Structure 1
């Protein structure tokens, strides 16, 4: 069924626009040739006049002067000559009239240059027309759709192309929406709409700026397929010529399909089918009317209105498209109202959370290595979005609270499951400020964290945690290791020496078992960085990454040597068969049972009574090891629980010293903050995170409100944490309200929408704060997840999680703060 043609007359035959376009194109070619002839003739005439002026200017002026000095005979004296013949005064031609009028000369001098310049521009543009379809579309990076471990899509990268739309697949309401908002007279003009050009020029002049474009769909199509995007008059002229040509060679429906298959719709989507799949997870032929209206509204400003970035702006633009469709007769007002009332659900989150980009950078490289194929692919990753949001939140909170005072500018975190899956990865404080991944790329001295390999080697060679060595001054060659407190304890068992991180004991052990044996143990657990064969290696003088050290500790927990740390579960392309599936781990080397048990006991002693006491978590067995380098340049902690292995590094990018920050200080505290809440999240399962754009709430306790205490109605917004119902002020539980622009945005969101409020199950009897819901969703969770407020001291855990999501994604008020 052909698209609706609102401007085509209903009585009589439809105008033959292709014939008109062919005639216009032929006329344009004749015009070009005539303009070329005129320009050449004008050039030759100007040259002849220049040569004549150069050769005879002096005598001519003298002759004119003599004529002017001669006395002019009176009109009576010229009535008859001696022969009786009347003297006739000759009439002046148009040249004489122009020469005799200084005003006309001046006017011609002003008008002629721009006319000649415009003529030359038109001729040059016509003679240099590129071929139709000659513009090479940049395919760009192949598109990656990235899913979390539970299948939720949370990020995309690259350029999406989708499938080419054919006439049977084009929904009528999509064609109607595009024509209504972009080119109402599409079916009646012949490529260039002069009426539309004059209308746009007038509105832009009245509005004081560019408010409306005059390009037709045909012009936009030839610009996308045959011209560059430079904004010049020459390109506009060529655009008009090519539009005439296209209209003479293609039907209107072919032009419309070509435009829809080529236009950019934002978020890396080229073509309407790619946009439909990108935003709504469906092919273009399955689009509903409100979805089609939203896509039609994007082409004017795709980067600004992409619903993944600006859902509110895209929705407002879709409403404008629906109203325009009503004005053109494409749909009825009732159909438009029904479409506005329908909920539009995005398949992807509003925007890729900035913190996950560290993980995405790593996964993009892995995907190319594991499945280097053409075409769009979907990558199922190991990332747990709840743990990722939690990790970003605890790192940001700790650095915000203590970073300035302790001169600690950066931190990184890696959380692995027992089988090596990367559940969370924080590569730095802010990806937007620095894309350098401190978890996988930064190589720093490990300090005492490296003692894991020293003691593990010693246990394999017959030492036990009860073996006793003497803490005393030691010299190995020219090297004299020192303890951090510059004191010596005398005879101590190895379990105590490891828990307290005594340097002289570790140096003696490495010297006894041999540094090469220590290196071999480190290699067997997956350390790939360069490890120099020097005595100081025992105290972590080698530079390593956080990921490889966390991987080594996970190998001890899982009893697998080496344990692979991986971020990709599977990769799928267009075919049903996956391109890649992560293989099951192969049976490999393992630690002897008694050796592994002794090492795990030593790690737990560090947390129970050693340098890692700050990492203790109530009710969870925790082991780990601290690491601190000279002058407090690096601070590390890697901790293990029955389900997780978490590594943390804190330091500065310029390698400057911190203010006495050791591994048992900020890193251990970050570990504790993360694990004590991660355990609760993993116990209750992977709950779906809220998304402000999709109006999905954070998991919230049910609102236990009696009918008598319940408030219901359309509230006024005082601030983002305070509402008013018919004069009664209500404070939202767990929210510290913000005013200004954030409050105005909330007011627009709640406009004419009913809100129900009541006391929450977790609220204190004396508390005046209430839980409010809108369309079944928790309003406080929506506000905090969108960055519209801060969580208050009485906020329950689900609202703290919503705030951490907003902080990690840098949305709302967190966009301005670092």
Structure 2
């Protein structure tokens, strides 16, 4: 049975306690022996002329007994301890999979240690750019001096042991039992090779035990020359003359002395052989490639290596003395220039690297028994794990598989390039750069960000990070937060209202000028319809006043918590944002990302279930073991009935509402297309989020305004954005039409009820009493969709958000009196009502009722 990691320490504590108890009993036994001897002497009345001789004999007899016992105890205890330790080691190893010969051969000789990034469907993207230069050469291309120097310095018994030295194993085991952390690397070259090529950099006892097991396995299947060759090809050797980190003796020889590894002189070989112990300390170069002022540590280390070679019989005393006198400083390369590394698919590359790094950080934190929340709160600790994960990705040869479909991604970039001339004006101006501390000339173009999600799985199929990665590396699909505008309305307001049976598709909502404790919203163009409108119409044309009235009603007249639904879909609002009615129109203080908006919107396409979006499908370690596999996280947000009703309402946006131009822009039928436009104040942010049964695609347009500028888009920006969305949707349809699933519309759930209601009130017909007068409500009827609910009987106050004045205006108009009901009212920027002359109209009668 395998022992747990803390069992050896518990056993050792119990063993010491038992030993202490035995010692106490032995002392007690000695005292009793002396007392009995004295009693026997007194009983026999024998004289004791030399009492000290008697005591001496008794003590010596006791010591001899004690020594015999201690010796026996050491044999028994030692055997028991060795058995337990071997059992402990075997237990740990029983949990480890044994790597194949082919796997070990590939890993120990692989100098291309940076990780590989893949698109979906096994399409290679690129290798992770490493700051560590390596070049593989064969053993015959390495100087004999160099190989002897490394062996004499790092592992003088290299050719005799079986991969590990027993004393190092015992030292590591006893250190663990005593509670000392295992911090040292492998003491043999084989162990060091295993640690560099086959294992992570964690310093746990289990890793140490695995290292030992693998070192013995490597020693069994590979010759000493193969092991040494692999080690010399992958070991790190500090920096070269361009300041770049280097690994492998060929890069070291060329980077330090400008010669090949085969032609290294004895002192040059000794200097390089001394570097692996502490490359950053002994390297002669700074980060910028210039020589350090003080090179004494590296030169002293070189002399230590030479001495060990002499002591090992690798060189004569004459060679040793001559090599020490060589002036190596004059042989170091002059400062050079590092070559730039090009990045293909920059937005994808950075995204995958960032997401993979985050995954590894979480795994490393978990391995250390820490909580990621607490680690993130400690900047220094998080930086440690960040660097550790970054090193693994750059030097350990992982494989990262993503969900990004290369073909679709390429199509979206082409569509963006073709449509970019329509986006709007670019501004060239001067601005003060606080980093450079000077005035700079900048160009502010209209930026875009878009994303395509698979509705069912949450896969990110493609995205647009920006117009040109070379000009702007900010990923506008994932990393920028902007106010979502009216795309928030179906997520925060109408969805929760339908779910909680507050509204049906024909529920009437007030669209009159209203003062909400100083907040005076208006519809687009600073107007008000001055009438009641149905929920479908309000959403179809994105009227603001009905959305604010409905949200106000949810917050203050019901127990519904709209923000809870939003949180389930991956968007968290602050308590301040929740309390402000402007949030109903997307007026967030921090904003949301394009990914968040699209993911939340896709909930309606997925029967009311939200699926977390993702771009990394799996990560595979160098040994072929999958260390991360994405697991779908699904959260039930709305009932299928709500999802169906919301799809129905949002289809009207495309059919005859703010996105009706899609009907002639798209190359396919819009019968199963629904979406929502969004525009923030002064056209600073323009959105469209649209879905088909298969995918959801969101697009955003706006200026970065990095330098505090306030550039806004033009009045036609929403139309331009819809054209851009259509261009990309057509590209997807042309490339892979099956992704849209246009023929798979959602079946009507049994909970969706259809009832005939009056078009004017959203209720059944009937008689109501208004100001003591009976009015018979009747007229045109429409079919309304209800979430498992019945149509309301006729009632005088039938709408959400209406005031007494609003109802009087309605009923007077209904009774045939000519008035301003339904006539658009002009408002100023502050929400005040204006008369025909543009003067502010004062009216205190604005009490909101139900």
**TM-score normalised by length of structure 1:** 0.46
Q: TM-score, normalised by structure 2?
A: 0.44
